[in-house]
Amino acid sequence: MSADMDTHSPALTVEGVVAGYGKMTILNGTTAKVRAGAITTVIGPNGAGKSTLFKTIFGLLPVRSGTIKLGERDITNHSPRNILDAGVVYIPQGRNIFPELSVRHNLELGGVALSEQANLSQRIDALMAQFPMLREKADTQASTLSGGQQKLLEVARGMLLDPKLVLIDEPSIGLSPLMVQEVFSILKALRDKGVTILLIEQNAKMALQMSDYGLVLEQGQTRIEDAAPSILADARIAQLFLGGGLAPAASASGSLTGILA
Ligand SMILES: Nc1ncnc2c1ncn2[C@@H]1O[C@H](COP(=O)(O)OP(=O)(O)O)[C@@H](O)[C@H]1O
Ligand SMILES: [Mg+2]
C-alpha cells in the first residue's frame, strides 16, 4: 500500500459505535476506518462482536451511539434496504441460499434488488461466464452444491448488485482448503476491481496473509487497526487474545493465540 492511501477518504468509517441486543451492549464504542479498494480482515476472539459489527453496519441492529459513514455519506440507522442501495452487500455466516431452488433461480432472486431489472439476465450470463461452475450447475438444485460452491454462489449473487463494499462473515467455515483458496481469490479479484472488502475470519493468519489491512476487535472495541503484515508481526496480538478469556488454543477453533503466537 502506498503512503498516499492515507489521504484518501475511507470507504467506510465507524466512529464510536455502541450497539447490542436488548440490555446487552456488545459494541462499546467501536471504531474503524476501512480503506477503499482494499481487503480488511476483522479478527478477534469468539464473542468479541465481529458479527454484531457487520449486522450493525448493515442496519440490522440499531446504533445507540456513534456514526457509520459510507464514503462521506452518513448511513447511521438507515434501513438495510437503503444500505444495500448505497452499494453494500452483506454475506452472513453460514448458508444463505435457497436450497430447493436452482442455481439460476438463486441468482435471479439475488438480482431482485437491482434497479435495472432489464439487464438481469445479461448480468447472470456474464457471471456464469466468469464462474463456469455456476453455468454447469445452472439448472441444478442449489442444495446439491458443495459448501464451497454454495459460498461461491452467494458471492456471485452479491456481485450481481455491483457492490462498492462487501461485508463477508466467515466465508471459509466448513469449506475444503481448495474452496477456501477459491473464495479468497474471488475476493482478491473483486478488490482488484476496486471493491472494498471487509472480511471476518477465524483463520486469522491465512486471512491476514491475503489481506491489505487488519482490525483486531476485542470486547466490542477496536484494539488495533494496521496493515496486515504489521498485525501478523505484532507480539501484542497473542497477549490480547490470552487476555480475552479464551480457552487454550488447542481446544477452541476460535482461538488465535496458537495461530499467531
Ligand atoms: N441475536 C443475539 N441476541 C443476543 N445476544 C447475541 C445475539 N447475537 C450475538 N449475541 C451475543 O453478542 C456477543 C457477540 O457476538 P458476535 O458478534 O456474534 O461475536 P463474534 O462474531 O465476534 O464471535 C456474544 O456474547 C453473543 O452471545
Ligand atoms: Mg461471528
Euclidean distance between CA atoms 194 and 69, whole angstroms: 18
Task: For the full predicted model, state whether its pTM sits above 0.75.
Answer: yes
Enumerate the β-bridge partners of residue 43.
216
Cα distance between residue 79 and residue 73, in whole Å: 14
Helix (H) or strand (E) holding 12: strand 12-21
Cα angle value 242/244/247 (rounded, 5°)? 65
Ligand closest to Cα of 169 equals 2
Running DSSP on this structure, what letter comes out for residue 4?
G
Using CA atoms, how far apart are residues 238 and 76, in angstroms rounded to an integer?
33
Please report the pLDDT score of residue 62 as a whole number.
98
| Structure confidence at residue 119 (pLDDT) | 84
Pocket mutation for ligand 1, best pick of 51, 169, 198, 199 (most atoms within 8 Å of C-beta) = 51
pLDDT of 251 reads 38
State the distance from the centre of ligand 1 to the C-alpha of 144, rounded, in angstroms.
30
Q: Is 20 in the pocket of ligand 1 (CB under 6 A)?
A: no
249 close to 241: Cβ distance less than 8 angstroms: no
In this prediction, the residues of the chain whose per-residue pLDDT falls under 50 are 1-6, 242-261
Ligand positioned closest to the Cα atom of 22: 1
What is the pLDDT, as a whole number, of residue 200? 97
52 lines ligand 1 (CB under 6 A): yes
Give the pLDDT confidence score for residue 40 in this predicted structure.
98
